[in-house]
Amino acid sequence: MTDVASARFEALFDPAFLARVNAMTLRIAAAQKGGRLAEQRTTARGQGSDFADFKPYVAGDDLRAIDWNIYRRLGKTFVRVFEERQDLPVYLMLDASRSMFAEAAPRIDPAMRTALALAATVARQHDALSLLSFGDDLATRLRNMSGKGAIVQVARALSEQAPAGGTALAAALTHLAAMRLRRGLVVIVSDFFDDDGLEGVLQALGRLPHRLLLVQMTRASDADPTLLHDLYGDVSIEDGEREAGLSVTITDELIARYRAAYRGFTDALDGFVQQRGATLIRVDADRDVIDQLSPVLANGSIVL
């Protein structure tokens, strides 16, 4: 582990930070059957503590599940069936493109804290966590981790993350869809600034057979560039992903056009989330991430 990665790991794997994550949960309306026993509600009937229904006894049923009161009243044997809780496969995708590393205070740091908070939540619920990162390509960093022991591995994998090229989110999503994974929850932590445009990203998201939780890393200056004190006159805008900077002469007219473009960008993202029934959390990179995640994820206040 390099010095930078080591320092980043120390900053990430902070007990105080992880303690604040304990209050967060990720609940899904109904997980797909076929997983391990865990805490997510499913349509599967079997062992569990939540009563679901009666069914006539057939040979092979557990004799301990026969409801003897019904037998006494009706003279027929019925057994009680319970809702079986299983784990949820969670695919946590972190944007590791160079634009996330570009600024003086890069967004990758709060993005990693966000990813770790979500991963810790998933691990604590004994759900199956897979960690993926994407830049030019999609890379699987961890697969089917669960339990508290997974948190250290996630923190280490995150801290070792290096810039991975440009933002090719649409291609990464297409790749993910082609992997035919067990249906679960896809969590994407990204700025969603794809050079090929948001339209391709949204189309690829629409093709995913998973539930979606989108975490957009933002800054106030994204919507209002006048907050940037050095953005005036003739500048070269570099996002780390282009060979040459974008030569721009900042004018009021151009700022107005940028604002319109950014509004269109956020409107498109919001529209997709609403249409798809996904969830979008906007995290301001300049504020504490737990403070921003807690209102949404605390005590199961969101059911995906």
Partner 1 sequence: MSFATFGLAGTIAGALALVALLYLLQRLRARRRVVHLPAAALWAQAMREAPARALGGRFRHWLAFALIVAIALALWLAAAHPQAAPAETGASRRFYLDNSALLAPAGELARAKRALLADVRATPAQRRAVFLGDAAGTRLLAPGESDSLLARRLDLVTAEARPSGFGAWLRRTGESGPGDTIRYYGGWPVLRDATPAAPRGTAVQPGYLARAVPDNRGIVALGATPARSGMAGRADILVAVAAARGESPSPSALRWTLDGKPFAPTSVENAGGGQYLVRNVAATGQVLQVTLAGNDGFPQDDAAALRLPDRTPLRVALLGGTPDVVRAAIAADGGLTIVPAASAQVAIGDAGATGSLALPALVFTDPARQGRAFAFAEPDNAAKGALADRLDELGLAQVDASAIADALGKPIGVDITQGARRRVGVWRALFAPDSPFALDAAMPIFLAQSLRWLGNADGWRPYAKAGAPIPDQSRLYGLPDRAGADLLGVATRIDAAPVALTDRAVTLAAADTSARPAVAPEGGALPADLPFVLLVLAAGLLLAAEWWLLQRGLIA
Interface with partner 1, residue 114, by CB under 8 A: no
Q: Under the phi-then-psi rule, with left for phi > 0, alpha for psi from -120 to 50, and beta for the rest, what region is 284?
A: beta
Q: How far is the CB of 190 from partner 1 (least distance, A)?
A: 10
Q: How far is the CB of 254 from partner 1 (least distance, A)?
A: 5
Do residues 25 and 293 touch, judged by C-beta distance below 8 A? Answer: no
Q: Which of 69, 243, 249, 252 binds partner 1 (CB under 8 A)?
A: 249
Q: Rank residues 16 and 261 by Cβ distance to partner 1 and give the closer one.
A: 261
Interface with partner 1, residue 49, by CB under 8 A: no
Interface with partner 1, residue 161, by CB under 8 A: no
Sheet holding 89-95, edge to edge: 138-145, 128-134, 89-95, 185-190, 211-218, 279-284
Q: Which of 152, 220, 260, 298 binds partner 1 (CB under 8 A)?
A: 260
Which tokens belong to 246? 């974008």
Do residues 222 and 166 touch, judged by C-beta distance below 8 A? Answer: no
| Other Cβ atoms within 10 Å of 220 Cβ, number | 13
Q: How far apart are CA 141 and CA 62, in angstroms?
A: 42
Q: Which of 152, 246, 298, 303 binds partner 1 (CB under 8 A)?
A: 246
Q: Rank residues 99 and 121 by Cβ distance to partner 1 and give the closer one.
A: 99
Q: How far apart are CA 83 and CA 87, in angstroms?
A: 13
Binders of partner 1 among 221-240, rule CB under 8 A?
222, 225, 228, 230-231, 233-240
Scanning 2-10, 54-62, 65-73, 261-269 for contacts with partner 1 by CB under 8 A, the matching segment is 261-269
Scanning 11-19, 118-126, 133-141, 188-196 for contacts with partner 1 by CB under 8 A, the matching segment is 188-196
Using DSSP's 3-state secondary structure scheme, residue 47 falls into coil
Q: How far apart are CA 40 and CA 42, in angstroms?
A: 6
Q: How far apart are CA 81 and CA 146, in angstroms?
A: 28
List Cβ neighbours of 213 (8 Å cut-off, separation of 6 or more). Answer: 26, 118, 185, 186, 187, 188, 278, 279, 281, 304
Scanning 81-89, 119-127, 170-178, 189-197 for contacts with partner 1 by CB under 8 A, the matching segment is 189-197
Q: Which of 70, 248, 268, 302 binds partner 1 (CB under 8 A)?
A: 248
CA contacts within 13 A on the Cβ side of 214: 24
Q: Rank residues 26 and 111 by Cβ distance to partner 1 and give the closer one.
A: 111
Q: Residues interacting with partner 1, by CB under 8 A? A: 99-100, 102-104, 107, 191, 193-195, 197, 222, 225, 228, 230-231, 233-242, 245-249, 251, 253-254, 257-258, 260-262, 265
